[in-house]
């Protein structure tokens, strides 16, 4: 027993020392100096080598989506590398398909700038900016979800499409010693470009959500980068199926508010799933929107109603409800938002119903 313990301690000790030496070496011996970074074959930057490509680009105020804040666990920070960068790393393999690898796609948070690099990024990322918002209001809409209203200075504005998201730069605070970016969908309509609203769920021990729920105060400044994402309202005539649970309400609410603000009359149904009645929120506004946009039906379903809920509506998960209610899907368009589990379950239903997948848009909150 003692021998096993000693061996484990020795191995852990050696590994720890090696990791420390590597990190010191990286900072001191491995001084890569200045490198040339070329973007989209036209913009050239002289950057300091050694850091991740993602951080290097942030230094140049070019913001690549990074929903996990550079941990290599979201796969959002892909860029196309056309020259330099070396071989793909084991930490990238789970997120970059073999076809993408052949096309030079890399995770910019994993790839270190150690050689001259040529990369290609979507032009619209040059429009992503960093903003300092003031928290103008904070309200708990359920015991886990906080509704934030954020205000820009008078002459500043953000341009976004309904459904897109921003990233909050969480500062260092008492319970976290690192700055991290986290993705949050905008809940407000782009009609007001001077302010945004967010719906932020509490994740126990989560870095950003702990900050938002326990430390952030009214009138504080919150640094936001955005907008990002290809989940946004498509201007088509198709009948819409909108499906959300929890904070997945946010981008769908932005879409509904946008439709209301522009008087867009399209047929559609907004399905929202919650556990109990107290997990439903902002229903007054949503019901008012559906009265105004007469062809938008709203259906709430509770997966675990208690007797106190006094609930007479549908019971069960949204995917089961969709399974019961959806008939011919060929002319439909879907917007799904919330946990990966919910989205995968809905996608399974869509598969069996022959839903045209090119008309399914989703954001997984992972
Ligand atoms: C495109 C996009 C849009 C998003 N929009 C929203 C939004 O509008 N509102 C919102 O609240 N969130 C949204 N998210 C999720 C958000 O980005 C964070 O992942 C989440 O808030 C947790 O961040 P954190 O820093 O508090 O937790 P972290 O410090 O990242 O995580 C701490 C631990 O909790 C686990 N964890 C992370 N998220 C969850 C979860 N949801 N449930 C259970 N465990 C979890 C992690 O695996 C980790 O072990 C979105 C995500 C994406 C990708
Ligand atoms: S930022 Fe999430 S994988 Fe790179």
234 domain residue, yes or no: no
Any atom of ligand 2 within 6 Å of the Cβ of 50: no
Domain co-membership, 267 together with 218: no
171 domain residue, yes or no: yes
Report the Cα 303 to chain-centroid distance in Å: 25
**Å from CA of 274 to ligand 2 middle:** 29
Q: What is the pLDDT of residue 67?
A: 78
Question: What is the total count of domains within the chain?
Answer: 3
19 domain residue, yes or no: no
170 domain residue, yes or no: yes
State pLDDT tens for residues 44-80. 999 999 999 999 999 999 999 987 778 898 898 999 9
Q: What is the pLDDT of residue 178?
A: 86
Any atom of ligand 1 within 6 Å of the Cβ of 141: no
The better pLDDT of the pair 190, 14 is held by 190
* pLDDT for 216 beyond 70: yes
Q: Which of 64, 65, 75, 178 to mutate to test the pocket of ligand 2 (most atoms within 8 A of CB)?
A: 75
CATH value at residue 166 = 2.40.30.10
8 domain residue, yes or no: no
End position of a domain, from candidates 125, 141, 166? 125
Q: What is the pLDDT of residue 18?
A: 60
- Mean pLDDT estimate for the chain: 92
For strands 129-140 and 180-185, give the pairing: unpaired
Question: Which domain, by its residues, includes 61?
Answer: 34-125
* pLDDT for 169 beyond 70: yes
DSSP assigned state of 146: E
* pLDDT for 94 beyond 80: yes
Question: CA 229, 233, 237, 241 torsion: positive or negative?
Answer: positive
Q: What is the pLDDT of residue 68?
A: 79
Domain co-membership, 289 together with 215: no
Q: What is the pLDDT of residue 26?
A: 55
pLDDT, mean of residues 155-161: 94
Domain co-membership, 250 together with 357: yes
pLDDT, mean of residues 166-187: 94
92 domain residue, yes or no: yes
* pLDDT for 30 beyond 80: no
Check: CB of residue 170 under 8 Å from CB of residue 186. Answer: no
Give the residue, by CA position, lying nearest to ligand 2 atom 3.
72
Any atom of ligand 1 within 6 Å of the Cβ of 66: no
Enter the pTM of the model: 0.88
Q: What is the pLDDT of residue 90?
A: 93
* pLDDT for 341 beyond 60: yes
pLDDT, mean of residues 292-310: 95
Any atom of ligand 2 within 6 Å of the Cβ of 68: yes
Q: Which of 56, 58, 64, 70 to mutate to test the pocket of ligand 2 (most atoms within 8 A of CB)?
A: 70
Check: CB of residue 80 under 8 Å from CB of residue 142. Answer: no
Domain co-membership, 98 together with 137: no
Check: CB of residue 36 under 8 Å from CB of residue 116. Answer: yes
* pLDDT for 43 beyond 90: yes
Domain co-membership, 329 together with 285: yes
Domain co-membership, 134 together with 224: yes
End position of a domain, from candidates 196, 228, 260? 228
Q: What is the pLDDT of residue 11?
A: 64
SS3 159: coil
Domain co-membership, 195 together with 274: no
* pLDDT for 295 beyond 80: yes
Q: What is the pLDDT of residue 179?
A: 87
Domain co-membership, 150 together with 106: no
**Å from CA of 243 to ligand 1 middle:** 19
Domain co-membership, 86 together with 157: no
pLDDT, mean of residues 254-268: 97
pLDDT, mean of residues 311-337: 96
Atom of ligand 1 nearest to the CA of 250: 8
State pLDDT tens for residues 205-214. 999 999 999 9
Number of DSSP helices (H) and strands (E) in the chain, helices first:
8, 16
90 domain residue, yes or no: yes
Q: Which of 73, 128, 203 to mutate to test the pocket of ligand 1 (most atoms within 8 A of CB)?
A: 203
* pLDDT for 132 beyond 60: yes
Domain co-membership, 139 together with 121: no
**Å from CA of 61 to ligand 1 middle:** 24
Count of all residues that appear for the chain in the document: 366
Any atom of ligand 2 within 6 Å of the Cβ of 58: no
Band the pLDDT of 298: cuts 50, 70, 90: very high
CATH value at residue 325 = 3.40.50.80
Domain co-membership, 317 together with 353: yes
Which residues 6+ apart lie within 8 Å of 19 measured at CB?
A: none
Atom of ligand 1 nearest to the CA of 365: 51
Q: What is the pLDDT of residue 366?
A: 77
End position of a domain, from candidates 183, 208, 228? 228
pLDDT cut 90: percent of the chain above it: 84
Which residues 6+ apart lie within 8 Å of 47 measured at CB?
A: 34, 35, 36, 37, 56, 59, 60, 113
38 domain residue, yes or no: yes
Domain co-membership, 51 together with 142: no
């Amino acid at each position: 027993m003692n021998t096993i313990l000693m061996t484990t301690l020795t191995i852990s000790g050696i590994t720890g020392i090696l990791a420390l030496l590597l990190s010191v070496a990286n900072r001191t011996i491995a001084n890569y100096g200045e490198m040339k970074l070329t973007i989209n074959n036209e913009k050239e930057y002289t950057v300091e080598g050694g850091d991740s490509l993602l951080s290097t680009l942030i230094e140049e105020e070019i913001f690549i989506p990074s929903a996990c804040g550079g941990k290599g666990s979201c796969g959002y920070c892909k860029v196309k590398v056309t020259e330099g960068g070396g071989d793909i790393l084991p930490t990238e393999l789970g997120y970059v398909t073999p076809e993408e690898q052949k096309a030079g796609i890399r995770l910019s948070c994993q790839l270190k700038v150690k050689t001259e690099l040529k990369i290609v990024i979507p032009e619209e990322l040059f429009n992503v900016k960093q903003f300092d918002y003031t928290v103008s209001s904070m309200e708990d809409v359920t015991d886990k979800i906080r509704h934030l209203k954020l205000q820009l200075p008078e002459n500043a504005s953000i341009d976004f499409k309904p459904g897109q998201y921003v990233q909050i730069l969480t500062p260092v605070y008492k319970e976290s010693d690192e700055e991290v970016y986290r993705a949050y969908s905008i809940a407000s309509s782009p009609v007001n470009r001077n302010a945004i609203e967010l719906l932020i769920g509490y994740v126990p021990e989560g870095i950003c959500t702990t900050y938002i729920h326990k430390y952030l105060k009214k009138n504080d400044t919150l640094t936001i980068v955005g907008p990002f994402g290809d989940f946004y309202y498509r201007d088509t005539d198709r009948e819409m199926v909108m499906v959300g649970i929890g904070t997945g309400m946010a981008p769908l609410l932005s879409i509904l508010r946008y439709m209301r603000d522009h008087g867009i009359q399209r047929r559609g149904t907004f399905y929202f799933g919650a556990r109990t009645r107290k997990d439903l929120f902002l229903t007054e506004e949503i019901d008012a929107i559906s009265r105004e946009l007469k062809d938008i039906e709203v259906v709430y379903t509770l997966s675990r109603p208690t007797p106190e809920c006094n609930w007479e509506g549908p019971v069960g998960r949204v995917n089961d409800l969709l399974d019961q209610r959806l008939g011919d899907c060929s002319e439909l368009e879907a917007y799904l938002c919330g946990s990966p589990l919910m989205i995968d379950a809905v996608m399974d239903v869509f598969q069996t119903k022959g839903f045209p997948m090119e008309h399914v848009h989703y954001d997984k909150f992972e």
